[in-house]
């Protein structure tokens, strides 16, 4: 990817403008990805925002609180806006102690630590089929907030009362993408997909019992959606649903 810079550097060495040791260091950085910092237990990618638009997100499940705090500190020290998902209460407590300015969402189980507030850009509503889907929806909403994308939470839109959908879905107009969170049969994304002209990111949840098989029924329903604009992420993956939708929102409005 860096062909031009490579040629430039070689030429500079050739002309004696740069010395080999210096250039070697830049080569390593360019080609081998030096933008990483090792903590005790993890390797933090501090170059990701430049490369992928947003910093690395921390999946907190099962991490030692102290080790997690070290990762947040590393990101923060390197000017990265830190965001953690699947944060336990114990983890959150320690993070908030260290960073009182961090924002903890206990329902969505997220913590975000902004270095600066991004100007809002783009619009992505998050829709749920039932109130039990809310934790996953909150994870998506927090992700959008961290990305600087405007959002709205539209809750408890069941498919069994389809006559009331037009009223409930009026807030979907002008969306850049819609995140639809649903468990059980997972039919809501298809319905929403037929109303809107933007991508629908479907997030199946493990809500349900018996033959819902922990979200498998919803996942399969969404993958087989007859609406062409529906795409799917993992079961309970509110973060990923929000992230992809947020990328679209930022991109459409030219902000990333």
Q: Which of residues 194-233 bind its own copies (CB under 8 A)?
A: 194-199, 201, 204, 206-233
User: How many Å apart are CA 113 and CA 222, to the nearest integer?
Assistant: 33
Closest to its own copies by CB, 101 vs 133, is 133
Nearer CB in complex with its own copies: 100/124: 124
Residue 130: strand, helix, or coil: coil
238 binds its own copies (CB under 8 A): no
Please state the separation of Cα 241 from the chain's center in Å. 7
> With binding defined as CB under 8 A, does residue 156 bind its own copies?
yes
171 binds its own copies (CB under 8 A): no
Which of 88, 132, 150, 255 touches its own copies by CB under 8 A? 132
- Kindly state the tokens that stand for 221: 């329903």
Which of residues 87, 140, 180, 235 is near its own copies by CB under 8 A? 235
Q: Which of 101, 119, 161, 174 binds its own copies (CB under 8 A)?
A: 161
Pick 100 or 253: Cβ nearer its own copies: 253
Token pair, residue 94, equals: 């320690």
Footprint on residues 78-97 left by its own copies (CB under 8 A): 86
Least separation in angstroms between residue 21's CB and its own copies is: 8
71, 58 Cβ separation under 8 angstroms? yes
Burial of 139 (0-12, 13-18, 19+ CB in 10 A): buried
Exactly one of 92, 102, 129, 181 binds its own copies (CB under 8 A); which one?
Answer: 129
How far is it, in rounded angstroms, from Cα 68 to Cα 58? 8
> Which stretch, 49-57, 73-81, 94-102, 109-117, contacts its own copies (CB under 8 A)?
49-57
The maximal CA–CA distance of the chain, rounded, in angstroms, is 75
Compute the least distance from the CB of residue 100 to its own copies, in Å: 26
Does 240 interact with its own copies (rule: CB under 8 A)?
yes
CB of 201 to its own copies, least distance (A): 6
69, 95 in Cβ contact below 8 A? yes
Contacts 24+ apart (CB under 8 A), 21-27: none
Q: Does 174 bind its own copies (CB under 8 A)?
A: no
Measured over the CA atoms of residue 243, residue 244, residue 246 and residue 251, the dihedral's sign is positive
Cα dihedral: 163, 194, 131, 207 (round 10): 120
Does position 20 bind its own copies by CB under 8 A?
yes
34 binds its own copies (CB under 8 A): yes
């Amino acid at each position: 990817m860096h062909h031009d810079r490579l040629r430039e550097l070689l030429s500079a060495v050739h002309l004696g403008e740069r010395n080999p040791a210096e250039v070697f260091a830049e080569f390593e950085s360019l080609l081998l990805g030096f933008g990483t910092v090792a903590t005790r237990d993890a390797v933090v990618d501090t170059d990701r925002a430049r490369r992928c638009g947003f910093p690395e997100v921390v999946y907190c499940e099962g991490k030692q609180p102290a080790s997690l705090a070290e990762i947040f500190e590393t990101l923060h020290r390197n000017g990265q806006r830190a965001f953690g998902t699947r944060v336990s209460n114990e983890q959150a407590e320690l993070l908030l102690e260290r960073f009182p300015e961090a924002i903890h969402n206990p329902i969505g189980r997220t913590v975000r630590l902004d270095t600066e507030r991004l100007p809002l850009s783009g619009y992505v509503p998050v829709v749920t089929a039932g109130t039990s889907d809310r934790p996953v929806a909150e994870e998506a909403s927090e992700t959008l907030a961290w990305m600087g994308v405007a959002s709205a939470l539209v809750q408890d839109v069941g498919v069994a009362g389809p006559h009331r959908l037009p009223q409930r879905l009026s807030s979907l107009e002008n969306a850049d993408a819609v995140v639809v969170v649903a468990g059980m049969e997972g039919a809501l994304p298809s319905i929403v997909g037929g109303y809107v002209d933007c991508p629908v990111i479907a997030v199946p949840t493990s809500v349900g019992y018996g033959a819902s098989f922990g979200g498998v029924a919803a996942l399969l329903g969404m993958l087989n959606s007859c609406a062409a604009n529906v795409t799917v992420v993992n079961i309970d993956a509110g973060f990923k649903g929000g992230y992809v939708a947020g990328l679209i929102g930022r991109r459409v409005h030219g902000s990333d």
